[in-house]
Structure 1
Amino acid sequence: MEYTKLTVEKQDGYVVAAINNPPANALSQAVLAELNSLLDECLNDDEVRVIVLTGTGEKLFSAGADIKEFASIRAGNKPRISGHDVFLKIENYPKPVIAAMQGSAFGGGNELAMSCHLRILSASAKVGLPEVKLGIIPGWGGTQRLPRLIGKTKALEVMLTGDPLTAEEALQYGLVNKVVPAEQVLPEARALAARLAKGAPIAMREILMAVTRGLNTSLEEGIKIEQAGSAVVFASEDAREGATAFLEKRPPNFKGR
């Protein structure tokens, strides 16, 4: 499909989608709708094994929700598409989704990044949930994902003060996987996506599922989820290919079957 709020580029094995909604890359209804469509489109495309989400411009990955649309919501108009739904779809997505944060991410922009599986952040950027300063709360999963990622104590400090974390702090607390200079964010994300795209799609799908679902249940139930995933993986052609390639001392050629 054609996108107007996303710049979509398909590479060998992965897609790079940049939010293109200047000046702040706000997550308007139009942006959320296109993100949702992108996820559906890539889900049904076997050639796409990884998605990289980034933003256009140097300063902002995304400043969050479109404040101009708040008045309509306050008036009782239900949003056509919910950030909750889109971000849950990303979190439960069966293919790795990487946030390439070339700039700062605030509010909903940070909540979008937190729903992704992996995050690379610019060394000059900041991330935060400043909603309390507007008299509201993080409304697209921030109150739930941030404590799960960095722990309750620090998460409460971030949300109650509304003060952002520096890139160094975000790395220290485990909010992001890597911090690099701004100009290296997208190349780093591309390199990681290319590497993952050569991996075993079924195994990665089951890892994503086991971790995401397992964290929301008991250890015992999580083990059951893992065991079910193991059964699926061991019955796949990819598992046989992986073992054969290891014995033959060659790179495996995973087909996702």
Structure 2
Amino acid sequence: MTPAAAPMIELTGPRPYVAQITLNRPARRNALDLAGFRELAAAWREVAAGGARVAVVTGGADFSSGADLATFSDDVAAALGRGEPAAAVWDDVHHALLRDVVLPIPVVAAIEGICFGAGMELAGATDLRVAAESARFSLPEVRHGFIASGGSVARLPRQIGYPAAMQVLLTGERFGAARMREWGFVGEVVPDGSALGRALELAERVAANSPDAVRGVKRAVGEGLRGTLAGAYEIESRVSEEVLAISRRSARD
């Protein structure tokens, strides 16, 4: 009997109220085939439905080298050949990368080693990002004849500014953690091997705060970025009033 393949995605709870998603395919530097994307999408759905207040995503020695180009196209073709709707296939891929998906809780990325392609797109969907000193980042899609359509074309110019984003998107070059920190893509740079530890520290700090306030901040910021500054102020006021109302009710109970 052939043993079952090891899961490419592991979901654990290393600290109270903290969920950890670990990409676990080290032999391929955490490159994900279609099954891996679907496992990751399922893990995010489980996190969203659970009781965690914050999530951490990591990959061990390497965050992720992106989609597994050796098999991904064939995987998608096979799924379509089995009669699966294309929309359902791509919905799983996009959900895995948190494209058009806003989790109610914050996500912290712990980035070691390489963070390429879909791996960088996933990192770009997180809220707090810790990178090891030797971590490397790249969106090499243009070198292979396609574009970074997991959210980066739309999101990256808003995160790090137009010139920096276009340098990343159009050259396909690799950039170090220090440069990505300078551009604002990474929040902290730490010694190699310590990104996960620092990410868990941040996650614990966030989890210790009021969960209603934390969720309110994430929702207000996310909604506000999609509109004008005036609209963002209105959202901030509305969400603030909602959180205060919850706090008052809790104090009376």
Q: TM-score, normalised by structure 2?
A: 0.86
Change (3 A) 1:80 1:153: closer
Contact 1:210-1:226 within 8 A present in 2 as well: yes
CA deviation string 1:118-164 (max 9, x = no partner): 11111011111011111111121111121111111111111111101
> Which whole-Å CA distance do the structure 2 matches of 1:238 and 1:189 have between them?
32
Q: Which residue of 1 aligns with 2:187?
A: 177
Among all aligned residue pairs of Structure 1 and Structure 2, give the percentage whose two residues are the same amino acid.
34
> Which whole-Å CA distance do the structure 2 matches of 1:132 and 1:139 have between them?
11
Q: Which residue of 2 aligns with 1:162?
A: 172
Q: Are 1:199 and 2:209 matched, yes or no?
A: yes
Q: Which residue of 2 aligns with 1:220?
A: 230
Q: Which residue of 2 aligns with 1:29?
A: 34
Q: Which residue of 2 aligns with 1:248?
A: none
Contact 1:130-1:159 within 8 A present in 2 as well: yes
Listed as ranges, the gaps of 5+ residues in structure 2 are 1-5, 81-85
1:37-76, aligned counterparts within 5 Å? 37-46=42-51, 48-56=52-60, 58=61, 60-67=62-69, 68-73=71-76
CA deviation string 1:184-205 (max 9, x = no partner): 1111011111111111111111
Q: CA deviation at 1:219?
A: 1.5
> Which whole-Å CA distance do the structure 2 matches of 1:131 and 1:12 have between them?
38
> Which whole-Å CA distance do the structure 1 matches of 2:45 and 2:78 have between them?
31
Contact 2:33-2:75 within 8 A present in 1 as well: no
1:234-245, aligned counterparts within 5 Å? 234-237=244-247
Change (3 A) 1:30 1:230: same
Contact 1:98-1:118 within 8 A present in 2 as well: yes
Change (3 A) 1:17 1:75: closer
Contact 1:233-1:239 within 8 A present in 2 as well: no
Listed as ranges, the gaps of 5+ residues in structure 1 are 245-256
> Which whole-Å CA distance do the structure 1 matches of 2:249 and 2:188 have between them?
30
> Which whole-Å CA distance do the structure 2 matches of 1:82 and 1:152 have between them?
29
Q: Which residue of 2 aligns with 1:120?
A: 130
> Which whole-Å CA distance do the structure 1 matches of 2:156 and 2:162 have between them?
8
Helix, strand or coil: the match of 2:193? Answer: helix
> Which whole-Å CA distance do the structure 2 matches of 1:40 and 1:75 have between them?
24
> Which whole-Å CA distance do the structure 2 matches of 1:182 and 1:145 have between them?
27
Q: Which residue of 1 aligns with 2:196?
A: 186
Change (3 A) 1:119 1:32: same
Q: CA deviation at 1:72?
A: 4.8
Give the CA RMSD over aligned residues.
Answer: 2.4
